[in-house]
């Protein structure tokens, strides 16, 4: 149904209502996975799903599914839409929530239009996409596709010492449905870009054709604590200096390679953490990303080699723990083309692009054709209370999603082999 439109006022109102849940006395928004504040967000979402007349199912890892099906299409694999409702600490209101609520809005619009889809349509809210309280990120969708054992996932210990399974039980979202029970025919995720490209190029719609591979590691460097004033520089075993060398190496190595790789040392902790003591230990994380698997492996190998050099030259010992590893993903060509066609038909400028951030779509792409739609982020800011997308762009993305859903649920072919 070309040029039908979602209810913009309803979508925007829901985004802001959900965005008010989880704010502290300073107004900061935080809904960590399986926390009390996320429970309130989940409760509101479930209320909306039921109000629209959807069947609600919760699986054992806490993933929420709002299901629209009929007797006529119940035997067909569903088209799945969605994202997540957990946030980072001191977050914005759009990341993840926009995709879930736009999926709900698309279903509600189709129902109001009297459309009878050829297959069920499901909106999903996956557990612990952000990975702030429990690692790894995208945990709920990873379990959904069989990439992580459910018992191991439920036993995951969080940053606060809690276990994910016990917290899901406590907040009432330890479901009974087995993971993977809903295998999708296809998956489409609408999301803010979380980067500056679309805004910089005055482009409304990003047709995301691939997603970067991600490598997370925790590095521990052991040196010797000693007096900061009496130990000559040449006689130190300085874990802090060794850690600093890693960050400089990654920056310079990527600059020389002229590749789109990125590297981030996101956390770092020294011991004994005193101004006048040479650090005896440095523990830090390294986040490496690249859309090409061979380049990502080469970057990992270069880091490993440099750690060996630093160990020899600085007189320290180094150990590395793998935290997460996801290969790059190529999204379904047919769905990407549908996104472009819809954008053009509605008069929106679009471009193909790579996602630099991880999303649930990269997990679902392991078991079904998948793709993503991006809309601009002001100044490229995300994971920040300044996160903002103009209402017109939010509505434009939801209308493109409506078109794509209409085509796929109406029988349009998808299914380029996914990776």
Q: Which residues are annotated as a binding site for Zn(2+)?
A: 84, 95, 130, 191, 383
In angstroms, the CA 211 to CA 419 distance is 11
What lies within 8 Å, CB to CB, of 301 at 6+ separation is: none
What lies within 8 Å, CB to CB, of 51 at 6+ separation is: none
In angstroms, the CA 407 to CA 31 distance is 34
Burial 102-135 (b: 16+ CB within 10 A, else e): bbbbbbbbbbeeebebebbbbbbbbbbbbbbbbb
In angstroms, the CA 187 to CA 147 distance is 17
In angstroms, the CA 170 to CA 380 distance is 36
In angstroms, the CA 393 to CA 279 distance is 49
In angstroms, the CA 412 to CA 407 distance is 5
In angstroms, the CA 335 to CA 373 distance is 10
Known binding-site positions: 84, 95, 130, 191, 383
In angstroms, the CA 403 to CA 109 distance is 11
């Amino acid at each position: 149904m070309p040029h039908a439109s979602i209810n913009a006022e309803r979508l925007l109102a829901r985004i802001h209502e959900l965005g008010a849940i989880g704010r502290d006395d300073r107004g900061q928004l935080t809904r960590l996975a399986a926390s009390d504040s996320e429970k309130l967000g989940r409760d509101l979402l479930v209320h909306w799903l039921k109000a629209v007349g959807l069947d609600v199912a919760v699986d054992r890892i806490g993933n929420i599914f709002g299901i629209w099906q009929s007797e006529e299409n119940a035997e067909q694999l569903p088209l799945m839409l969605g994202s997540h409702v957990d946030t980072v600490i001191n977050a914005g209101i759009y990341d993840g929530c926009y995709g879930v609520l736009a999926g709900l809005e698309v279903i509600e619009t189709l129902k109001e239009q009297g459309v009878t889809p050829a297959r069920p349509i499901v909106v999903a809210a996956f557990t612990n996409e952000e990975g702030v309280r429990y690692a790894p990120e995208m945990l709920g969708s990873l379990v959904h596709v069989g990439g992580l054992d459910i018992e191991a996932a439920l036993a995951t210990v969080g940053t606060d010492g809690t276990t994910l399974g016990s917290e899901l039980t406590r907040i009432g979202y330890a479901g009974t449905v087995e993971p993977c029970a809903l295998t999708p025919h296809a998956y489409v995720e609408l999301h803010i870009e979380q980067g500056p490209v679309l805004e910089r190029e005055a482009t409304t719609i990003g047709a995301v054709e691939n997603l970067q591979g991600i490598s997370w590691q925790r590095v521990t460097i052991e040196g010797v604590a000693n007096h900061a004033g009496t130990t000559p520089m040449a006689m130190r075993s300085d874990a802090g200096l060794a850690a600093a060398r890693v960050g400089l190496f990654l920056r310079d190595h990527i600059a020389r390679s002229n590749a789109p790789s990125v590297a981030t040392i996101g956390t770092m902790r020294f011991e004994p953490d005193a101004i006048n003591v040479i650090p005896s230990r440095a523990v830090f994380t390294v986040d490496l990303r690249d859309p090409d698997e061979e380049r990502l492996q080469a970057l990992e190998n270069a880091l490993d080699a440099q750690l060996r050099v630093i160990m020899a030259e600085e007189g320290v010992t180094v150990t590395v723990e793998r935290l997460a590893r996801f290969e790059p993903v190529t999204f379904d060509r047919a769905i990407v083309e549908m996104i472009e066609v819809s954008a053009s038909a509605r008069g929106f400028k679009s471009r193909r692009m790579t996602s630099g951030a991880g999303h649930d779509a990269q997990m679902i792409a392991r078991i079904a054709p998948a793709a993503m739609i991006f809309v601009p982020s002001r100044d490229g800011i995300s994971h920040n209370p300044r996160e903002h997308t103009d209402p017109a762009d939010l509505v434009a993305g939801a209308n493109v999603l409506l078109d794509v859903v209409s085509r796929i649920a109406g029988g349009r072919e998808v299914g380029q082999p996914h990776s």
